[in-house]
Amino acid sequence: MSTTSPSPLLSDSLKGLGLDAGTLFFALNYEFTKTEPKGMLKRFKKNEGAIDIDLACVLYDEHCTISDIVWFKKLRDKAESVKHQGDSLNGKDRGDQAMYLAPLDQEQIRLYLDKIPAHITHIAMIANSYHGHPFSRVKKGEIHLSDDEGNHCFEVNLKQLPRDCTTLWVAHLRREVDDWHLTLQNLPLPAEDLAIAAQQVAHELARALPIPQGI
């Protein structure tokens, strides 16, 4: 499923979506895309010769307070229930097997839902273009979610995102009594990096909380 709208187009329990609620794979696959700094920037941005897209999973408690962030700076949470499989800097440095349309994703985060600590109520899945290049500049690519049985839940086509989008709140998992509820957010964020994006999502989640009675 590909989408260009920031409005949720998919919202259901994992069971309702036909996903095994054991292990989820939040993954990225895109074609290596060179960029050319202009003018004086060539001297200072020698490591920015290609688009670099990063994934993160942010864990929040019931008050929408950040409990943990799993990203390229921290490859697993405290409980080892969410694990980043390693950072790709440009979409091709993980080898031929991890290039676009190859068997392996260039970047992947695994969520072992049975191990998620009980106090974690929300999990946000976020993507960010590290050097600030819009996602739509990649030649080809997508972000997707699947389970360990090979069932795919969604695919977000990077080429179809807004032209200025560099940070995206991709999806949101909310804990239910005996399952997790998944919402495809596809919401561009004004954040320049993942840490700020995590805070912005916390604000959005808090806004959606029910207002306590008597206030």
Question: Mean pLDDT over all residues of the chain?
Answer: 84
Nearest Cα residue to 25 out of 105, 88, 134? 105
Contact 111, 27 (CB under 8 A): no
pTM > 0.95: yes or no: no
18 φ/ψ sector (left φ>0, alpha ψ -120 to 50, else beta): left
CATH 2.60.60.30 assigned to domain 10-33+48-208? The reply is yes
Residue with tokens 């399952």: 179
pLDDT at 5 over 70: no
Predicted confidence (pLDDT) per residue in 130-185, tens digit: 999 999 999 899 999 999 998 999 999 999 999 999 999 999 999 999 999 999 99
Confidence of residue 40 (pLDDT cuts 50, 70, 90): very low
- Average the pLDDT over 98-124 and give the result: 84
pLDDT of residue 128: 97
| Per-domain boundaries in the chain | 10-33+48-208
Predicted confidence (pLDDT) per residue in 10-30, tens digit: 999 999 999 987 999 999 999
pLDDT at 110 over 80: yes
What is the separation, in whole angstroms, between the first and last Cα of the chain?
41
- Average the pLDDT over 187-193 and give the result: 95
pLDDT of residue 134: 96
